[in-house]
Structure 1
Amino acid sequence: MAPPRAPKSAAPPPSAFRRWMKCLMVWGGGLALLGLVFLGFAVAFAAQSLPSYAALKATQPGQTILIRARDGRELVEIGPSFGEWLNYKDIPESMTNAMVAVEDKRFHSHLGVDPFRLTGALVEGLTGSRARVGGTSTITQQLARNLFLNNNRSLDRKAREAVLAMALEWKFSKEQILELYLNKVYFGGGAYGIDSASRKFFSHPATDLTVGEAAIIAGLVKAPSRYSPTSDTQAAVDRAKVVLRLMREQGYITPDQAMVDVSAVQLKEQAGQNSVRYFTDWVLPQLDIILPETYEPIEVWTTLDVGMQRAATAAIESNTPGGAQGALVSLDRDGAILALVGGTDYVASNFNRATTAMRQPGSAWKLFVYLAALEAGYTPEDKVVDTPVTIDGWSPRNSNGRNVGETDLRTAFAYSINTVAAQLGNEVGFGTVASMARRFGVTSEVETYPSMVLGSSEVRVIEMTQAFAAIAAKGTAIEPYGITKVTGASGEVLYRHASRRNAALVPDYVVAGATDLLQAAVQTGTGRAAQIGRPVAGKTGTTSSNKDGWFIGFSSGVTTGVWMGRDDAKPVPGLQGGRAPAQAFAAFMRYAVKDRPVEEFDVTLELPEWQLEPDEEAMFGDPEDYYYIDEQGNLVEPDRRDPSQSPFGVEGEGAPPAASEDFLEEATGGEIPRAPPRRPPSQPAMKPPEY
C-alpha cells in the first residue's frame, strides 16, 4: 500500500504591494476612462459652441486706429493690418510647409494636441530640463489661443486651449485650420496674416512668396519683434536658416533648395512715415484718458498740418549739424499743434526730443527774467548797467567777455547780456522768475539758484514753445493739443476738443514790453538769422560749450520752437541759437505763414497809473534843497528844520495848510471841523477850560 500523499500547501497570499498596484491600475484605468469620457463631452460641447467658419474668417483681433491730419488726409493706421484673404489652394506650398516644419511637424497626424510635445513639457516641468527646442503648443492650439483666449501661462488657460484645439480639429479640416492660421497669425509690425506680412516686408502679395521669403515669414511667429527683418536683419536671416534646415530634414525641400541665400532676399525699404510718427506717438496715449474703454475701430482727427510737417522735417534735416539731433514744435494761436518733429530720423531713433527730452534752454530762459522785471515796473527804455557782478559767489560773464557799461533794457535783451539778466533776476527775486515760468506753462522742475536766470534748469521744447505762444496770444495761457475729435466705426463722435477761456497771465503792458524786447532780438540782436520778411519776435538760446542751441519765436499767430544738440550732451562745434536753430526756424516759418496776413506787433506801452505818477523829486537837485511837510502839516523851507525859524513867523502862525479843507473833505468823505475865527490882536484870547 502506497504511503499517503502529503496535502498540497496553500498558495502564498499576494503581497500588499501587488494588491496596491492592482488597485491603482484598476482605479487609474477607471479614472482615465472617466477623464476621457469627460474630455470627449467637453470637446464635443466646445465643437458645437464654436462659431461657423465664415464667422471665424470675419473676426479681426485688436483695435484699428486711423489717424487723420487736420484736412482729413490719412496720416497713419495703427493696429492690425490685414492683407487679402488667401484660400488654402492659393497659399504657396512652400509657405504651408515652412510653417508646419518650424511650428508643428506632426500637424497632419495629431488631433489638436501633440502627445509627444505634451510629454516633453511634463518631463521638463518635473526635471527642470531645458533640452527641448520647440514649444508645447501646436498650430491648432495657437489658433485657438489667437481666436478665443489671452496669452497668460496659467494651467487653466492651457487646459482650455487644449480643449478648444481638439474642438477645432473635430469641426474643421486640416486645410481649413491652416487657412485660418496663416491668414490670422501675427507677424509683427501690425501685420496679421501672410499676405499682410509679405506686402509689409517684401512689397508683393503672399501668392508670390519664394522659398527664402517663406522661411523668413515662418520664422517670425516665435518672436515677431526679435526676428523682424526691419529691426534686425541678421536675426531674421539666422532664424530663416533654421526654418530651411527643418524643411530639409522633414523632406519638404531638397538640399539644394535649403542652400538658398536668405541674406540676398530683397526687403521692402522702410521709408519712414518718419517724423509724423513722433506726433502720433505723442497723441495716441491721450486716447486712454479722453475715451471710454472701447475696442471698436476709431478715427482720430488731429491738428497736424501735412504741408507744415513736411516743411518742419526738411528744415530740421537740412540745418541740423552732423552728429547732432534736432526737434521742432509749432503751435497755432489757440495751442493746436501744426507740426512736431522729435528727431532727424524716426526709423533710426524714435526718442521724441520735442516732448520728452530735458535740455537746458540757455538764454531763451531770459524771457521769464524780463517778464518779471517788466511786471515789477521796468520798461524797455529804462537804463541798466552792464558791469561785472557777483551774486552769492556766482560771477556770470558775457559771451564776448566784455562789458558795455550803461545801456537800455531793450539792447540788453536783444544782445542777451548775461550780467544784466543776473542783476534783474537778483533784484526781482529768483523765486519770482521761477514763478513766472510756472505761470507760463513750464511744469519741469525749476531751481532758484542765481544761475537759473541763464537757463540752467532743464525743460522740454514743447514747454518753452507753449510759453512763447502765450506772449503771441497777448498774455493768454495756451495749452498745446493735438486731437480735435474722435469718431467711432459708425461715425458717431466719441470726443470733441472743447476750447477753454483762459485768463490773462500778465497785464497788457507787460506783454507789450516783452513783445518789444523779443522783436528787437530778431531785428537787431542775436536772432537776426530768424528774419523772414515780416514781423518776427523771438529769442535765441545757447548753453555752455555749445551743447544746446535754441530759437523760439512767433509771427502771424504761429509760434515755433527749435532745439538742436547731441543726445549725449557733448559739445557741437559752432552750434549757437542764432545760427542753425534760427535758420531752421526761418526756413519753416516762411512756409508756415505764407498764406497768413502780415501782422504788426502791438508794442505800445499803456502803463498803469502807478507807473505814470511823476517822480518830481527826481527833477530837482540835492535832497537838502527840498521843501517838506512836518508832522503838523506845515511847509518847511530847506535848511529850516526848526519850526520856530519858519518864514511865516511863530509856530503855526501864517503857515498855509498842507492841503485845502475842500480836498480833505472830499478825500475823507466827512466835514472837517472849521477853525474858530481869529480875534483882533487887541482882544485877549479866551482861555480854554480846564478839565
Structure 2
Amino acid sequence: MPRFRRLLRWLLILFAGFFVIGLLAAGTLYYVVSSRLPDVESLRNVELQEPLYVYARDGRLMALFGETRRYPVDIAEVPERLKQAFIAIEDNRFYEHHGVDYRGVSRAIWLLATTDDKRVPGGSTITQQVARQFFLSSEYSYTRKLSEMLLAMKMERELSKDEIFELYLNKSFFGNRAYGIAAAAEFYYGKKLDQLDLDELATLAAIPKFPSSGNPVTNPERARIRRDYVLQRMHELGFISLAEATAAQAVAMHATPHERPVEVYAPYVAEMVRQEMIARYGGDVLTRGYHVTTTIDPTMQLAADVAVRSGLSAYDHRHGWSKIEQAFDLAADEDAATAGARLRGIPAQSGLLPAIVLRAGDGTADVALTDGTTVTLDAASSRWTGRNPGALLKRGDVTRVRRIEPKGKDGAAPDPAAKPTWQLDQVPRAQSTLVSLEPDNGALRALVGGFSFAGQKFNRATQARRQPGSSFKPFIYAAAFERGFNPASVVVDAPVVFRMRRGQDWRPQNDDGKFAGPMRLREALVRSRNLVSVRLLDAIGVDYARRYISHMGFDESELPPNLSIALGTPSLTPLDITRGYAVFANGGFRVTPWFIDEVKDRDGKVVFKENPAVACRSCGADGTTVATANVVDGFNLGPSQPATAAAPAATTPEPAAPVAGPDRLVAPRAIDARVAYQLVSMMRDVVQRGTGTAAKVLGREDVGGKTGSTNDHRDAWFSGFGGNLATVVWVGRDDNRSLGYREYGGKSALPIWIDFMRVALDGMPIAANEPPDGMVKVAVSASGRLLPTTSDGGLVEWVKAEDLERMESTYEDVADEVPTEEAFDIF
C-alpha cells in the first residue's frame, strides 16, 4: 500500500508538472500569437477592392475597369431572408457565440480523432472566416487555426455582429470575378438584392464554400444540391415554411452570366479615361472604387458611332468585294457547332459577326456563327458586291455577316412575324475617326477612334498623325490676314517653281491641274486652290506663319519649316485639328480639350472637379497675374500656378484670366477676333458654294468647314463647325495606302460629318457670326478693288479698320504681275 501511494503521489506530481508546463506553453503560445494579431479597429475603415466606374455626362455607365466585380452594400440593405440563408448554411449560431462556436470545434476535433481525414468540415464561424479573409492566409495549420480563433474573439469584442456580417457579405468570393453578394446577384441573375427570389438567394448562399465546383453556371447540378440543402436548413431553423422550401427546390436552375450593362458605348473614350486616371492616381486606381464622370454626350456619341460605321461601310462597298479574312480546313463530317467553335477567338466588330462557310454553291452559301447557328445567304445578301455568295465563298472560309432587323413602314412598328435578314459583309479596308468638342470650353462631346475597338484598340483620334491636306489652309489664311491680307485680297492662281538648296525644283499643282489666274482669297479658299495658298505663305514668310499658327494649339516643331505646310503636310492628330478649328468657331480663343469632368471616391467625395478655361468674347486681357490652365499631354487637368499676361496674339497668346469670379478662367486669346470672324465667314461659303456643298442638306446657315485631301488620296478630311460644336472627320488607311480614285474629303469624310452633325445639331440654336468691333463694311469688285461706298453693286466684305488703307496694297499689284513660272528658294 505505501508503495502504491508513493506511485500515485509521483503520478500526481508528474501530472501537475505536465499541467503547469502545458499552461506555461499555452500561455506562451497565446502571448506570442496574440501579440501578432492585427488591429481589428482597421476593419471599420477597410477599403474593399472596387472597380473604376466611368460615366457619360448624364450619369449613364460607359465602362467598368478592374479585375474585381464588387459593389459593397450596407447590412441594412441586405434582405432578412438573404441573411438567414447564409446563417443557415455557414453559422446557425452566429448571433449567439462570441466568435468561436465550441460545439463546432468539438465536433471537428472528434472527426480528426476518429477519421483519417487531415481536413474536416465545421468549426469555422462567420467571424473566423472574416478574420481569415482579411488578415490570415489559407494555410491549414494549428497555429493558423489558433490565430483565427483568437482574432475572431477579439473582433467580437470590438465590432458588432452586423459589422462583421457586412464585412463577410462584401468580402466573400462568389466565382467569376464576383466579390460580395451584390456583385454575385448581378452576375448570376442580373438583379438587385431586394429582387432575388428564395431559390436564387439560397443558390447564392451556397456558393462561397465551393465557388468553383459549386458554381451555378458551370456546374448547375452540384449547385442545385447545395441550394436544396440550404433551403432544407432554413426550414429546419424556422426561417421558412416547408411549403416555401419545397416550392423553391422545385425551381429549375437558371443562373446565367449577366455583365453590368454598358449604357453608353464609347470604348475609345473609356480607355482614355483609364489611362488618364492611372497617370493621375497611380496603378491601383482600378481597385479603389473611383467614379469618373466624363463630358461625353450619349446622343452625340451614338450618332458618331453610327456615322463612322455607316460611312466606312459605304466607302468599302463602293470599292467592291475584297477577300476573306482566313480559311479553315473543315473535316468532311464537321457540323455547325464544331465549325462555329473555331470562331471563338475572332471578335465581332461593329455588328459584323464572324461566320464560317459550311457550304457554297448554286448562288447561295450556308454559314455557321460562333454559337453554332446556321444562316443561309442568298443573292440579295451580297447584292452590293455584284456577285452571289456561291461565287464569292467556299467551304471553310471565314467571312462576316450583318444581321438586319425588320423595320416598319414610315416609323411604324415592324410586323412581329417578320424575320431578320442577313447581309454578307466585310471589315472595311479603311479607318475613320470623328472628334467633336464644344469650342467655347474644349469639352469633348463625342469621339470615335476607329471602326471597331474590339478589332483594334489603336485610337486614331489621339494617336494617329496624318497630313490634313487642304483642311490646314484656313490656318495659313488666318496668318495672312494678321499681316494685312483680307478676304478680298487678290492673289494669282498660276504656276510657280520653288528651287530648293540641293538643286531640285518643287512645282506645286492644283488638284485639277488647271489655273484660274488672279482671284480673291475668299474664292481661293472656297475652291481650295493650292497655288494661291503657297503664294500667300511665301508672301508672309514661313517662320512667321509657323509662330502664328502655333498659338492655336499646335506645336511649332511639328510644322515643317518650308512652304509645303501651305498644302497641309504637317503630321497632326485629328484632335489637334479639332482644337485648331475651335479657335475659329469661338472667336479666337485657344481652348484645351478635356474629357474628365468630375472624379469621386468610393464614398462619394469629390476629389477632382474640372474648371476649364473658356472663351469669353466680352472679356479683355488686363495684364494682371491670373491662374492658367494646367495642360499635360494636350489635356486640361485643372488649375495650375498663376501666370502673367503676355504679348498680343501676333507674337504670344494671352494667358487665361478670371471670368466672373476668381475661380473661373478665360482661355488665352490665340488670334484676333476679327480674323476669326473672316475665316468663319469664308468657311461658311465653302459649304454654301464650294467643296463642302453637300453639307447644305443640314439646312443651317451656321455650318462651315473645309475639305482636305492629300497626295494619292491617302487621307480624306472634313473639318468644320456648326451650332456650338467643332467637329473633324478623318478617313484613311492604317497602312497609308490610297483610298482610291477620287476619294476626296468631300466624298469620303464629309458624309460622315453630315450624318453626325444632323443628329448633334438637332434643336441647337443657330450660332451667330457678327462682326466684332474694329471692322468696316466695304464693297469690292470681282477683282478685289475697293468701290466707292456710294456705288451700287459690288461684293460686300468686312475688313479690319486698319486694312482699309491697304485695300489697294502692293500685294494685289505684285500678284497681278507674277510671271507664269518664277523660281523661289523654298527654304
Tell me which interval the TM-score lies in, with the shorter structure as reference length.
Answer: 0.5 to 0.7
Q: Does 1:543 find its partner at 2:721?
A: no
Matches within 5 A, 1:117-266: 147=134, 167-168=147-148, 184=171, 191-192=178-179, 196=183, 199-200=186-187, 218=212
Q: Secondary structure at the match of 1:192?
A: coil
**Separation (CA, whole Å) in 2 of partners of 1:432 and 1:188:** 64
* Residues in 2 aligned to 1:482 and 1:404: alpha-carbon distance in whole angstroms: 45
Distance 1:618 1:180 in 2: 79
Per-residue CA shift, 1:159-193, capped at 9, x if unaligned? 9x9987873476569xxx9x999974789997435
Q: 2:266 aligns with which of 270, 276, 280?
A: 276
Give the distance between the partners of 1:612 and 1:593, measured in 2 at CA.
40
- Give the letter aligned to residue 504 of structure 1: R
Q: Report the counterpart of residue 764 of structure 2 in structure 1.
A: 596
Q: Does 1:326 align with 2:432?
A: yes
Write the deviation string for residues 93-138 of structure 1: whole angstroms up to 9, x where unpaired: 9xxxxxxxxxxxxxxx99xxxxxxxxxxxxxxxxxxxxxxxxxxxx
- In 2, distance between residues paired with 1:374 and 1:72? 44
2:444 to 337, 342, 358: 337
- Tell me the distance in 2 between the aligned counterparts of 1:465 and 1:164: 62
C-alpha change, 1:613 and 1:71, in structure 2 (3 Å) is same
Q: Which residue of 2 aligns with 1:509?
A: 674
In the alignment, the residues of structure 2 paired with residue 304 and residue 36 of structure 1 have an alpha-carbon distance, to the nearest angstrom, of 64
d(CA) in 1 for partners of 2:465, 2:174: 35
Instruction: Decide whether aligned partners of structure 1 residues 286 and 573 sit closer, same or farther in structure 2, where only a CA change above 3 A counts.
Output: same
1:566-599 Cα distance to aligned partner (Å, 9 max, x none):
3333333364311232111111112222222223
Q: Shift of the alpha carbon at 1:554?
A: 0.7
Please say if residues 449 and 458 of structure 2, whose CA atoms lie closer than 8 Å, have aligned partners that are also in contact: yes
Q: 1:103-118 to 2 correspondence within 5 Å? A: none
- The aligned amino acid for 1:398 is N
- Asked if 1:427 is matched to 2:544, the reply is no
CA contact (8 A) 2:71 2:182 kept: yes
Query: Could you list the per-position Cα deviations for residues 65-106 of structure 1 after superposition, in whole angstroms to 9, with x for gaps in the alignment?
Result: 44443334444454553489988976999xxxxxxxxxxxxx
Counterpart amino acid of residue 62 in structure 1: Q
The one-character-per-residue Cα deviations of 1:275-328 (angstroms, maximum 9, x if unpaired) are 423223324554577789999755434322221122122111211242322222
Contact 2:169 2:180 in 1 (8 A): yes
Provide closer, same or farther for how the CA distance between residues 63 and 184 of structure 1 changes in structure 2, counting only shifts above 3 A: closer
Q: 1:61 aligns with which of 48, 53, 68?
A: 48
> Post-superposition shift, 1:422?
1.9
Deviations 1:221-274 (A, max 9, x none): 9xxxxxxxxxxxxxxx9xx99xx9xxxxxxxxxxxxxxxxxxxx9866898667
Aligned to 1:524: 689
- In structure 1, the residue matched to 2:488 is 381
Structure whose alpha-carbon radius of gyration is higher: 1
**Aligned: 1:449 with 2:562:** yes
Q: 1:194 to 1:601 in 2, by over 3 A?
A: same
In the alignment, which residue of structure 1 is the partner of 2:58? Answer: 71
* Paired-residue identity, %: 30
C-alpha distance 399-208 of structure 1, shift in aligned 2 (>3 A): farther
Q: 1:537 to 1:148 in 2, by over 3 A?
A: farther
Shift of 1:495: 3.0
Matched, 1:45 2:152: no
Aligned equivalent of 1:19: none
Instruction: Give unpaired runs (5+ residues) of structure 1.
Output: 1-33, 94-108, 111-141, 150-156, 222-236, 245-264, 621-691
1:572 alignment partner, SS class:
coil
Q: Which residue of 2 aligns with 1:81?
A: 70
Residue 404 of structure 1 pairs with residue 404 of structure 2: no
Distance 2:444 2:186 in 1: 33
TM-score, length-scaled by structure 2: 0.50
- SS of residue paired to 1:369: helix
Partner of 1:17: none
Q: Aligned Cα RMSD in Å?
A: 5.2
Q: Does the 8 Å contact 1:183/1:194 carry over to 2?
A: yes
- Can you list the C-alpha shifts for 1:522-542, whole angstroms capped at 9, x where unaligned? 122222223311121101122
Given that 2:85 and 2:202 are in contact with CA atoms closer than 8 Å, whether structure 1 keeps it comes out as no
Shift of 1:390: 2.4
Q: Distance in 2 between matches of 1:189 and 1:421?
A: 61
The answer to whether structure 1 residue 363 and structure 2 residue 353 are counterparts is no
Q: Tell me the TM-score normalised to structure 1 length.
A: 0.59
Contact in 2 for aligned 1:330/1:558 (Cα 8 Å): yes
Aligned to 1:665: none
Change in 2 beyond 3 A, CA 1:483/1:404:
same
**CA deviations over 1:420-443 (Å, ceiling 9, x no partner):** 222222222223332233110123
What residue identity is the alignment partner of 2:577?
A: M
Structure 2 alignment gaps of length 5 or more: 1-23, 90-107, 110-128, 154-163, 223-254, 314-427, 612-662, 772-796, 814-827
* 1:495 equivalent in structure 2: 609
Rounded Cα–Cα distance in structure 2 between residues aligned with 1:379 and 1:526: 21
Partners of 1:401 and 1:146 lie apart in 2 by 76
Q: Determine the structure 2 residue equivalent to 1:310.
A: 302
Cα pair distance change 1:83/1:300, threshold 3 Å: closer
Q: Which residue in 2 is equivalent to 1:625? A: none
> How many Å separate the matches in 2 of 1:543 and 1:460?
15
Q: Distance in 1 between matches of 2:174 and 2:567?
A: 51
The residue aligned with 2:744 is 576
The residue type equivalent to 1:508 in the other structure is A
After superposition, the Cα gap between the structure-2 partners of 1:272 and 1:68, relative to the gap in structure 1 and judged at 3 Å, is closer
Determine the C-alpha separation between the residues in 2 that align with 1:557 and 1:329. Answer: 14
Offset at residue 419 of structure 1 (A): 2.0
Map 1:532-681 → 2, pairs under 5 A: 532-535=698-701, 536-573=703-740, 575-602=743-770, 605-609=798-802, 611-612=804-805
Return the alpha-carbon distance in structure 2 between the equivalents of residues 452 and 434 of structure 1: 9
Q: In structure 2, what is the Cα distance between the partners aligned to 1:298 and 1:310?
A: 25
From the superposition, tell whether residues 534 and 38 of structure 1 become closer, same or farther in structure 2 (CA, over 3 Å).
farther
Judged with a 3 Å threshold, the aligned counterparts in structure 2 of structure 1 residues 404 and 281 are, in CA distance, closer, same or farther, namely same
For residues 174 and 455 of structure 2, the distance between their equivalents in structure 1, rounded to whole angstroms, comes to: 21
Supply the distance in 1 between the matched residues of 2:574 and 2:88 (Cα, whole angstroms): 51
TM-fit CA distance, 1:363: 1.5
